[in-house]
Amino acid sequence: MGTVDAELVSVSLMDDAALGSFLRKHGLALKKEEARKVAELLERDPALTELHIFNTQWSEHSSYKSSRSVLKMLPTSAPNVILGPKEDSGIIELGEINGERWGVVVSHESHNHPSQVVPYEGAATGVGGDIRDVLCMGAKVFAIADNLRFGDPDGKSGNKVRYIAGEVMNGIAGYGNAVGIPNICGDINFNGSFDENCLVNVVCLGVVREKDIIHSYAPRDAIGYDIILVGKATDNSGFGGAAFASLILDEEERESNRGAVQVPDPFLKNIIIRASYEVFEAARKKKVALGYKDLGAGGIMCATSEMCAAAGYGADISLDKVHTGMKGLPPYVIACSETQERMCWISPKSFTPAILRIYNEDFELPRISEGARAAVIGTVTGNEDYVLRQDGKVVCNAPVRVITQGIRYERKKREPKRDLKEPVLKEPSDYNGIALKILRHPNVASKMACYRHYDTTVMGNTIIHAGEADAGLMAPLPGSSYGVALKSDSNPRYNRIDPYWGAVNAVAESMRNVAAIGATPRGLTDCLNYGSPEREEAFWDFCEGVRGIADAASKIHQRGTSFPVPVISGNVSFYNESKSGTSVDPSPMVACVGIMEDYSKAITPRLKNEGSSLFLVGERKDELGGSVYYDLHSELGACVPKTNFEKEKHMIHAVIDAVGDGLITACHDISDGGLLACIAEMVLGGEADGRIGAEINADFSALPLSRILFSESSGFVMECAKGREKELNDLFVSYDLHLIALGKTRGNSLTVMKNDKEAVRLPTEKMREAWTSGFTEA
């Protein structure tokens, strides 16, 4: 193994107590046995910089050391997959336009711990990192979305919860708006399990020609190519961020953890994005092959080592050439700091001047931000060693594959004992009151107050904006009719009861949401948020969640094919628990990307016409476990919705056909709050300005009315185009589905009849007041 000029850490001579003390003193999250493993792999004691490198690369965040073997269950291949989960983002086919195949680039990341500690900056930099993941594939970024989980706003930590929620939303808005990328959908849930660990997951979309994809690894024959660092001056912000994300949060260490959170600069990012587009175009014209990668977890070290290792090369980097914003930074900070707004190119020397000119002169990075620039910091080598130098001395010299291959753990798992049972509740004496409480519940209430923080139309190509429908919809290519839909979902209470069915429901609901506007589910991403994998019960939850996603993605297969809806990118976030022993509810956030060949056919849930027929597909079942109705009674329950894969697939495909054929003018999937909340939201519309009511007859089911109205079993409610009722029924019969006639659109109230008696009468104005105030009051 290679030698270094720096002082070595005598790992081989220290006993466990001394080694543990040393690791803690230097802020290293490596376990003692892992530090000894480093020495074993290097065949010598490591230098301090090398220990910091392995501290980052062997974190759960970077190495997936506990999850990688489990993730193999996920279906990742299908004919429409251009790039699976191998690089910074996945890519699925959008379609062929003018004889060229185009792809949708998708990334899904978490920034949970940073957002709990410093919520504005944590959320903002989470958005920034996800944007970089898409940008570095050579794509034009066109949309972002978010999944947010916060604690109980009315609980013991209510003031803190509300502060964190407000700052997270401000951070997402402050970054996304400034960088000029629309936020097209979201998913927000409040739950006491998130009091000490909020979840901030972000999805980002881009578009690229297949032939123009840039990979996040060195191109062929790259020996001697330049390694170019672009962006903000490196400082100590975010140092240790990857390791920090792989630890249990300790509230007492809140202040000391702030340094592990990066500092955002969205205005600089805006310039870097625009400059990068110019580099893309220049490289295409000259037919130059490049490598491009964002600097996220592990900073310079992670990006450069992974780019070179993936192509079988090494790297020789001078840390003295790195533009820094602070004096006297030690080599391991320069190498591993997670300073934001930085990217890395691998370029032939002949093209390097063009890259430097575009960033430094044409887009004037040094003038935009003090110390920012593009600079050559190293060279690609052919010996597969990863060498870092500072002040003429070698401070790291290790086989690059040893650095990047990570380590693996085969964790033990054990099913937790869950003493769950269904509550015995009397039928409500006042259905109107219960319905209004459900509409006011923060997990059901309109989130438009949040979405109005976000710029949802900045690019001018938003077809359906956040909050307007079950999914957002964009037209990413000017002059093309193709639309890209996106929605993400997960119900933490379902997952608390049963992590398998909770994950299945997350997949199914995300697909239903995309289908409800008329788009066909073509790809999935997941952000898997769980407790410590070192706890056998938490790891069992994780394994069950992955199994649920795998089954749903495979069995609710792509329309018109026998192929799964592939999982093309994602992220695992463990250790979402605190020193108090509180773990978040298992939270597999699943996002579905849908494709429409003609976005002009898309529909929204808002009722369109007086006197139309309303239909239900999806029978009501006695499945209220985890429901909002039970939550109002401080109950959890045991019977979560269990998806019938064959029926779910047929429902989704039939709805897509119905939208495409113009048979329905409005559609909404049934989820939080159940059937009554679904219809109320259709009456109100996304902007809460609906004027058409609905008259519903609930005699179609023998279940108690509370089960009919508040069960969250999957299904859709549709407004049929006038005169096309028979065509709609025939379509669903062809899918072996029973269409239930619910009633008509009329008046300015929502009424429900049962056994010839009026059980519910909700004036539109009362529903509007409840639905629009619940989230803001929280």
Q: Are strands 342-347 and 226-231 parallel, antiparallel or unpaired?
A: antiparallel
pLDDT-derived band at 772, boundaries 50, 70, 90: very high
- Active-site residue, 111 included: yes
pLDDT tens for 453-467 read 888 888 889 999 999
List, as one string, the DSSP characters of 382-441: SS-EEEEEETTEEEEEEEHHHHHS---------PPP--------PPPS-HHHHHHHHHHS
What is the C-alpha to C-alpha distance for residues 236 and 220, in angstroms, rounded to an integer?
Answer: 34
Angle of CA points 48, 50, 56, to nearest 5°:
110
Compute the average pLDDT of residues 105-114.
Answer: 95
Task: Please tell me whether residue 44 adopts helix, strand or coil conformation.
Answer: coil
pLDDT tens for 750-760 read 999 999 999 99
> What per-residue confidence (pLDDT) applies to 250?
57
What is the C-alpha to C-alpha distance for residues 283 and 214, in angstroms, rounded to an integer?
Answer: 10
What is the C-alpha to C-alpha distance for residues 186 and 774, in angstroms, rounded to an integer?
Answer: 17
> What per-residue confidence (pLDDT) applies to 239?
80
Query: Is the predicted pLDDT of residue 240 greater than 80, yes or no?
Result: no
Query: Is the predicted pLDDT of residue 249 greater than 50, yes or no?
Result: yes
> Are 458 and 180 a contacting pair, CB within 8 Å?
yes
Of all residues in the chain, what percent are helix, strand and coil, respectively (each to 5)?
A: 35, 25, 40
> Are 94 and 438 a contacting pair, CB within 8 Å?
no
> Are 567 and 503 a contacting pair, CB within 8 Å?
no
> What per-residue confidence (pLDDT) applies to 581?
76
Structure letter (DSSP) for residue 50: H
Neighbouring CB atoms inside 10 A of 424's CB total: 6
- The closest alpha carbon to 594, from 692, 499, 451, 476, belongs to 476
SS (H, E, C) 651-719: HHHHHHHHHHCCCEEEEEECCCCHHHHHHHHHHHCCCCCCCCCEEEECCCCCCCHHHHHHCCCCCEEEE
- Active-site residue, 113 included: no
Cα–Cα distances (Å) from 544 to 421, 445, 548, 549, in that order, read 20, 30, 6, 9
Domain boundaries, the chain: 604-778
Catalytic residue among 52, 111, 113, 668: 111
Query: Is the predicted pLDDT of residue 118 greater than 60, yes or no?
Result: yes
Query: Is the predicted pLDDT of residue 258 greater than 50, yes or no?
Result: no
Query: Is the predicted pLDDT of residue 263 greater than 90, yes or no?
Result: no
Query: Is the predicted pLDDT of residue 653 greater than 90, yes or no?
Result: yes
What is the C-alpha to C-alpha distance for residues 131 and 652, in angstroms, rounded to an integer?
Answer: 30
Question: Residue 4 corresponds to which tokens in the numbers above?
Answer: 């270094």
pLDDT-derived band at 256, boundaries 50, 70, 90: very low
What is the C-alpha to C-alpha distance for residues 652 and 660, in angstroms, rounded to an integer?
Answer: 12
Q: Which residues contact 159 (CB under 8 A, 6 or more apart)?
A: none
> What per-residue confidence (pLDDT) applies to 128?
95
Neighbouring CB atoms inside 10 A of 396's CB total: 29
pLDDT-derived band at 1, boundaries 50, 70, 90: low
Catalytic residue among 61, 113, 323, 650: 61
List, as one string, the DSSP characters of 520-542: EEEEEEEEEE-S-TTSHHHHHHH
> What per-residue confidence (pLDDT) applies to 580?
77
SS (H, E, C) 248-293: CECHHHHHHHHHHCCCCCHHHHHHHHHHHHHHHHHHHHHCCCCEEE
pLDDT-derived band at 257, boundaries 50, 70, 90: very low
What is the C-alpha to C-alpha distance for residues 382 and 416, in angstroms, rounded to an integer?
Answer: 50
- Its sign, for the CA torsion 297, 303, 309, 310, is positive
Compute the average pLDDT of residues 581-592.
Answer: 94
Percent of the chain with pLDDT over 90: 91
- Of residues 177 and 251, the one with the higher pLDDT is 177
Cα–Cα distances (Å) from 690 to 468, 517, 677, 762, in that order, read 12, 18, 15, 14
What is the C-alpha to C-alpha distance for residues 557 and 564, in angstroms, rounded to an integer?
Answer: 4
Q: Are strands 183-190 and 140-150 parallel, antiparallel or unpaired?
A: parallel
- The closest alpha carbon to 568, from 522, 530, 528, 519, belongs to 522
> What per-residue confidence (pLDDT) applies to 62?
85
Residue environment code for 466-503, b if the CB has 16+ CB neighbours within 10 A, otherwise e: bbbbbbbbbbbbeebebbbbbbbbbbbbbbbbbbbbbb
Angle of CA points 408, 409, 415, to nearest 5°:
145
pLDDT tens for 148-173 read 999 999 999 999 999 999 999 999 99
What is the C-alpha to C-alpha distance for residues 669 and 617, in angstroms, rounded to an integer?
Answer: 10
> What per-residue confidence (pLDDT) applies to 252?
56
Query: Is the predicted pLDDT of residue 85 greater than 50, yes or no?
Result: yes
Question: Does 604-778 carry CATH code 3.90.650.10?
Answer: yes
pLDDT tens for 422-481 read 999 999 999 999 999 999 999 999 999 999 888 888 888 999 999 999 999 999 999 999
Structure letter (DSSP) for residue 139: P
pLDDT-derived band at 312, boundaries 50, 70, 90: very high
What is the C-alpha to C-alpha distance for residues 205 and 744, in angstroms, rounded to an integer?
Answer: 38
> Are 43 and 11 a contacting pair, CB within 8 Å?
no
Range name among 60-69, 199-208, 559-568, 679-688 with the lowest pLDDT average = 60-69
Q: How are strands ordered across the β-sheet holding 613-617?
A: 664-669, 716-720, 613-617, 740-745, 694-697, 749-754, 757-763
What is the C-alpha to C-alpha distance for residues 336 and 317, in angstroms, rounded to an integer?
Answer: 13
Neighbouring CB atoms inside 10 A of 464's CB total: 25
- Of residues 110 and 260, the one with the higher pLDDT is 110
Percent of the chain with pLDDT over 70: 97
Compute the average pLDDT of residues 612-629.
Answer: 98
> What per-residue confidence (pLDDT) applies to 332?
95
- Of residues 268 and 237, the one with the higher pLDDT is 268
- Of residues 740 and 262, the one with the higher pLDDT is 740
List, as one string, the DSSP characters of 319-347: GGGS-BSSTT--HHHHHH---SSEEEEEE
Neighbouring CB atoms inside 10 A of 664's CB total: 26
pTM of the model: 0.95
What is the C-alpha to C-alpha distance for residues 7 and 448, in angstroms, rounded to an integer?
Answer: 57
What is the C-alpha to C-alpha distance for residues 750 and 687, in angstroms, rounded to an integer?
Answer: 17
Cα–Cα distances (Å) from 130 to 18, 185, 295, 767, 769, in that order, read 39, 15, 11, 37, 36
pLDDT tens for 543-554 read 999 999 999 999
Task: Please tell me whether residue 67 adopts helix, strand or coil conformation.
Answer: coil
pLDDT tens for 502-519 read 999 999 999 999 999 999
Question: Residue 567 corresponds to which tokens in the numbers above?
Answer: 């999982």
pLDDT tens for 349-360 read 999 999 999 999
Angle of CA points 143, 146, 147, to nearest 5°:
155
> What per-residue confidence (pLDDT) applies to 297?
85
- The closest alpha carbon to 335, from 216, 238, 247, belongs to 238
> Are 315 and 305 a contacting pair, CB within 8 Å?
yes
- Its sign, for the CA torsion 64, 67, 68, 73, is negative
Cα–Cα distances (Å) from 652 to 510, 617, 656, in that order, read 11, 10, 6
Q: Which residues contact 357 (CB under 8 A, 6 or more apart)?
A: none
